[in-house]
Amino acid sequence: MRLKALLQEISLSLPSGRDREIGLVTESTATAGVDSIFVCIRGSRADGHDFAPRAYANGCRIFVSEKALSLPSDAQVLQVENTRAALAMLACAMFSHPSERLHVIGVTGTKGKTTVARMIAHILNQNGLPCGYVGTNGISYGVVTQATQNTTPDAMTLQRTLSDMADAGMKAAVIEVSSQAILQHRVDGTHFETVLFTNLSSDHIGPNEHADFEDYKACKHRLFTDFGARNAIYFAGDSAAQDMIAGTSADRMLLCNIRDAGCDCTATQIRPHRTEEMLGSICTVRFQGAEVRCRLPMPGEYSVANALLALAVATGVFEIPLSTAAKALESIAVEGRMEWIPLPFGATAVIDYAHNGESLRKLLTALRAYAPTRLICLFGSVGERTKLRRRELGSVAAELADLCILTSDNPGTEEPEQIIAEIARAFEGSSTPYLCIPDRADAIREALRRTQAGDILVLAGKGHETYQLIGTKKLPFCERAIIEAYFQAKQVPELL
């Protein structure tokens, strides 16, 4: 794309020098070169302005920055107020505004984003409407699957992905929109046709995240006011729903809630449903006069709440018959979200991403409804993040589990033993037994050794992740593989 056309996207005119072809807009010196624009991004650990000389040495001559740069005279430095916002708009222009070629659906909220987004994509794909997905569980469309670093990718990755989806024949794309993505302008310039709100609770507050809960909520709210969406769908049962509705720019709003006849989409007669193949739920769903009995292969009322949002999109926006959309959900499976694994001796393992107190409470409460012989909970807490989670996780597990195994999650540069000790303080005065096993693989094997017929073993915190952050290294780690290997080894006769 020509430089002049790109600069018009951020309201800048071409500086002195000839117009030229631009092949790449980048924030990384590793990819900066003679045909690129290097955008200086201030990060939590490093400032891209400090790396401009390295990009120059690699052949780059065009820079977007928030301040003057000490570079040779042949460098063209374009100063803007916010380089993150500029990067997003440049990314949209580089890929010819791909969100305008798709029906883009944005899902935000503290919990449930991944499940709701996956449900929407699943229903649409099952009904002949090719839909891509971008979120915590990666990128997927057609036969393509890719991992992502963040829930919502950086602006260049996002716009490139939307362009690829449109080129591949996708008609829609559903994106998990995190508060950090809005705060850091990753989705600026994206046209959302439909936006959804799941719920809101205190999270992602602390250093390098949000200053306080009000800032966190305000970032979420921007998805409903700043991006021109025509359809807005809310879970009305959450206390923050009215705040999210306020000032919306949408032409149409749909409200969802459990047992609320005043909402557009509601569920009643909810009960747990267990078979040899699944832990699930059965409920009656009503949407604007239509009614259907829905069998959902996920436990808990919060799973039903997630399903209502997905059904409201499918039926209310895409006009898929309610019965057809509900039927599609009978085959939904989301990696690391209430993912159950039958164990050989009549027990069940459940892998879930629950990594704070509220999500763990919902998970354990939902599983209690299936009357397990024992509810065993294995969990840890991430390092280098807010420490409030540790006490919350420990308190919830001590209250609701029959046996707890405290272990590592992604400790990073913190000592795993110290994180576990902070969690263990919540067990003071509790009668719930617990073990401390820092190595998570060893902890899983010990949990499996102790699990008996009728037990439900919960592996909380890692969910879909196939790695562990230990120190500064990202090491391969897959809980499903550890479970499988454990039972394979058990089938090998011991040597005499």
CATH number at 78 reads: 3.40.1390.10
Is residue 495 in some structural domain? no
Interior/surface letters 108-136, b for 16+ CB within 10 angstroms, e for the rest? bbbbbbbbbbbbbbbbbbbbebbbbbbbb
Is residue 343 in some structural domain? yes
The pLDDT assigned to 202 comes to 64
| DSSP designation for 312 | I
Domain end position, chosen among 60, 94, 128: 94
Both 196 and 317 in a single domain?
yes
Question: pLDDT tens, 4-40?
Answer: 888 887 777 776 667 888 999 999 999 999 999 999 9
Both 199 and 111 in a single domain?
yes
- Residue 124 maps to which CATH number? 3.40.1190.10
Report residue 211's pLDDT band, with 50, 70 and 90 as the boundaries. Answer: low
> CA–CA separation, 30 vs 33, rounded Å?
9
The pLDDT assigned to 159 comes to 97
Question: pLDDT tens, 438-483?
Answer: 999 999 999 999 999 999 999 999 988 888 999 988 899 999 999 9
> CA–CA separation, 279 vs 37, rounded Å?
51
Both 165 and 31 in a single domain?
no
Both 48 and 60 in a single domain?
yes
Q: In this structure, what are the phi and psi dihedrals at residue 172, rounded to the nearest 5 degrees?
A: -140, 160
Q: In this structure, what are the phi and psi dihedrals at residue 45, rounded to the nearest 5 degrees?
A: -120, -15
**289 vs 262, 272, 293, 316, 330, CA distance in Å?**
12, 25, 14, 12, 22
Both 137 and 285 in a single domain?
yes
Is residue 496 in some structural domain? no
Interior/surface letters 299-329, b for 16+ CB within 10 angstroms, e for the rest? bbbbbbbbbbbbbbbbbbbbebebeebbbbb
Report residue 388's pLDDT band, with 50, 70 and 90 as the boundaries. Answer: confident
Both 102 and 77 in a single domain?
no
Is residue 334 in some structural domain? no
Domains: count for the chain: 3
**CA-based torsion, 152, 80, 8, 21: positive or negative:** negative
- Residue 383 maps to which CATH number? 3.90.190.20
Is residue 323 in some structural domain? yes
Both 237 and 154 in a single domain?
yes
Both 289 and 358 in a single domain?
no
CB-side exposure of 79: number of CA atoms within 13 Å?
Answer: 4
Q: Which domain holds residue 255?
A: 98-329
Both 467 and 374 in a single domain?
yes
Domain end position, chosen among 329, 362, 380: 329
Q: What is the distance, to the nearest Å, from the Cα of residue 229 to the centroid of all Cα atoms in its chain?
A: 21
Domain end position, chosen among 329, 350, 367: 329
Identify which of 37, 42, 73 has the alpha carbon closest to the alpha carbon of residue 58. 37
Both 384 and 455 in a single domain?
yes
Identify which of 132, 108, 109, 6 has the alpha carbon closest to the alpha carbon of residue 62. 6
Interior/surface letters 437-456, b for 16+ CB within 10 angstroms, e for the rest? bbebbebbbbbbeebeeebb
Both 307 and 375 in a single domain?
no
Is residue 172 in some structural domain? yes
Report residue 310's pLDDT band, with 50, 70 and 90 as the boundaries. Answer: very high
The pLDDT assigned to 8 comes to 82
> CA–CA separation, 195 vs 107, rounded Å?
6
Amino acid letter for position 193: E
191: its two tokens: 């046209």
Both 23 and 143 in a single domain?
no
Is residue 390 in some structural domain? yes
Question: pLDDT tens, 253-306?
Answer: 999 999 998 999 999 999 988 877 678 899 999 999 899 999 999 988 989 999
